[in-house]
């Protein structure tokens, strides 16, 4: 795995809807800008070798970093794969939609649910939203949220941005009734 750079973003919301948020709501994102393991190979029928060579390593790299950046236990989480213009969306999906990748984050966060994800192809500086859901119950509405990310110089055409996001809480000032009230 060739990593060009790691980007860490931390958002701390101190006020929402004109009211203080206490404690402040924290969301952290850590993204690795990596060389696309299938770059320059044309259409690759079997993505398995690239998955084996990359997915676990990038998951092991990012999981502890995003939790360190959050500086609190994670209650919500998500992931992203943004592929440069010379790659395929399937390249990003191949890396993040495998237990080899996601289990690093699930174990580090004491989570049990599948990680919500975004995958897309785009130029350097493309904006993408990472969806987040509760780490043990994806039906907990208060934790359905997104965080917006942009890395000015990534991905290059032959790169993939792989990112993990974590929130220390649900949405600030959330007021929706539990899903069970509608069933």
15-54 confidence digits (pLDDT tens): 999 999 999 999 999 999 999 999 889 999 999 999 999 9
CA 139 to CA 122: how far, in whole Å? 31
Helical residues (DSSP H) of 39-180, grouped into ranges: 48-70, 89-96, 99-109
89-131 confidence digits (pLDDT tens): 999 999 999 999 999 999 999 999 999 999 999 999 999 999 9
- Strand runs labelled E in the chain: 3-16, 19-35, 76-83, 117-121, 127-134, 145-150, 159-167
Triad 60, 91, 110: Cα angle to 5°: 30
Question: If you classify domain 3-182 with CATH, what class do you get?
Answer: alpha beta
Block residue for tokens 């509760």: 134
Question: Is pTM, for the whole model, over 0.85?
Answer: yes
Instruction: Write down the pLDDT at residue 40.
Output: 85
Backbone φ, ψ for residue 82 (5° rounding): -115, 115
Half-sphere exposure at residue 107, Cβ-oriented, CA atoms within 13 angstroms? 11
Q: Tell whether the model's pLDDT for residue 136 goes beyond 90.
A: yes
């Amino acid at each position: 795995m060739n990593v060009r750079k790691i980007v860490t973003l931390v958002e701390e919301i101190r006020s929402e809807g004109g009211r203080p948020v206490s404690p402040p709501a924290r969301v952290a994102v850590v993204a690795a800008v990596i060389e696309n393991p299938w770059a320059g190979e044309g259409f690759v029928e079997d993505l398995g070798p690239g998955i084996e060579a990359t997915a676990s390593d990038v998951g092991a790299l990012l999981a502890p970093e995003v939790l360190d950046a959050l500086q609190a236990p994670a209650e919500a989480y998500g992931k992203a794969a943004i592929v440069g213009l010379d790659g395929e969306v399937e390249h990003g999906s191949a890396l993040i939609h495998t237990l080899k990748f996601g289990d690093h984050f699930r174990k580090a966060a004491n989570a049990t649910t599948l990680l919500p994800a975004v995958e897309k192809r785009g130029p350097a500086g493309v904006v993408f939203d990472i969806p987040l859901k509760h780490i043990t119950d994806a039906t907990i509405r208060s934790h359905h949220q997104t965080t917006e990310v942009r890395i000015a110089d990534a991905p290059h055409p032959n790169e993939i941005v792989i990112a993990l996001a974590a929130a220390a809480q649900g949405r600030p000032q959330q007021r929706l009734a539990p899903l069970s009230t509608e069933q």
